[in-house]
Amino acid sequence: MDTANFFLQALLTADMTIRVSVVLIFACLAGLFSERAGIFDIGLEGKMLISAFFTAAVSYQTGYIWYGVAAGIAASLVFALIHGVASITFRGNQLISGVAINFLASGLTVVIGHAWFKKGGLTPPLSDAERFHEITLPFADTLRDVPILGPIYADVISGHKLLVYVAMLIVPLTWWLLYRTRFGLRLRAVGENPASVDTAGVSVVRYRYAAVLIAGVLCGLGGAYLSTSQGAAFGKEMTAGRGFIALAALIFAKWRPWYALMACLLFGFLEAISNLFPNINVFGLFEIPVQFTQALPYILTVVILAGFVGKAIPPRAGGEPYVKER
């Protein structure tokens, strides 16, 4: 492969990496807020799925993308609220609640979609007005001719849909909120040692609800991105395990925002590679099967979790309902 061609392939891969990472970033940050406050969330997948459906459905019905996004976020918030009521108010098992949410999302999206559009659970394809558009950043076309940096700016950084840039902005925002505000300090404390936060007169319940609802909004955006930006309609089970990859990325990032971005880009890169170059031939010696690339995020996460390469220590009060002492 000559250099020019290699550069072109690299640009293509980088562009696709960003496109497929965005869902992971939204979901991963959602999980980050929730788990940092001590609430396990394996229902990221379900919340994204229900949002993907309602965004596409309402967008199609009203012809206006923002109504769709609002509906998607609202649906995801309802699920987040169920998770909150079950795991905070009624101190239920957070993992079981997450499993229930995934079941409900898989069922409801198809049942409602089937009755609504009569297309076996799919929504009709969305027209231009019902989707997000590519945004060309300033000077992208004039700078394209600049060697190397020009194409990188024009083809990789510019030309994405709005939610891509929103995702990239939410990463520093999350960092700032968690590490530079009182809200963030308390939220993290609620996930590490809720009793001490309670002693200080701060409501553990309120902070946990706040975290769970923020996760709801972020999953809502992730789902909206899937059906109106990465795709152009809702399809049955379209999240395809991305909520779980995001969970894996969260562990890989050891529950920190900037690392979360890196982990999502890495896992997105692996997805892009498996899409673009199914079977990779290594110097003509052997072939890496596409299934290996697809499984790599999960394998890496198991390795990290087992502490063979650095130790991932979750928030200490994660998964435990808080019982106020009387």
Sites of contact with other proteins (CB under 8 A): 40, 42, 82, 85-87, 90-97, 99-108, 110-112, 114-116, 120-121, 241, 244, 247-248, 251, 289, 291-292, 294-295, 298-299, 301-302, 305-308, 314
Minimum CB distance to other proteins, residue 237 (Å): 10
Q: What three-state secondary structure class fits 258? A: helix
Q: Distance between CA atoms of 51 and 43, rounded to whole angstroms?
A: 12
Cα-Cα-Cα-Cα torsion 124, 127, 130, 136, nearest 10 degrees, comes to 140
For residue 326, the minimal CB distance to other proteins (Å) is 16
Question: The tokens of 140 are what?
Answer: 């992208």
Residue 227 or 274 having the CB closest to other proteins: 274
Shortest Å distance, C-beta 70 to other proteins: 20
Kindly tell me which of 247 and 264 has the beta carbon lying closer to other proteins.
247
Per DSSP, the chain holds a count of helices (H) and strands (E) of 13, 4
Using the minimum distance from each CB to other proteins, give the nearer residue, 127 or 279.
Answer: 279
Instruction: Fill in the DSSP letter of residue 317.
Output: T
In angstroms, what is the minimal distance from the CB of 68 to other proteins?
A: 20
Nearer to other proteins, 82 or 221 (CB): 82
Cα separation, 101 vs 252, whole angstroms: 24
Residue identified by tokens 């996930």 is 191
- Whether 12 and 277 have beta carbons less than 8 Å apart is answered as no
Task: Give whichever of 102 and 229 is closer to other proteins, judged by the CB atom.
Answer: 102
Q: What is the DSSP letter of 320?
A: P
Nearest alpha carbon to residue 34 among 171, 169, 187, 177: 187
Q: Which of left, alpha, beta for 256 (phi over 0: left; psi -120 to 50: alpha)? A: beta
* Angle, helix 65-84 to helix 44-62, in steps of 10 degrees: 150
Query: Could you tell me the smallest distance in angstroms from the CB atom of residue 261 to other proteins?
Result: 20
**Least separation in angstroms between CB 181 and other proteins:** 29
Pick the closer one to other proteins by CB: 164 or 247. 247
Q: Which is nearer to other proteins, 85 or 262 (CB)?
A: 85
Neighbours of 1 (CB within 10 A): 7
| Cβ proximity of 98 and 83 under 8 Å | yes
Residue type, 121: G
Residue nearer to other proteins on the CB measure, 116 or 277 = 116
**Minimum CB–partner distance for residue 151 and other proteins (Å):** 34
145 vs 180: CA distance, rounded Å: 41
The 3-state DSSP class for residue 141 equals: helix
Minimum CB separation of residue 186 from other proteins in Å reads: 25
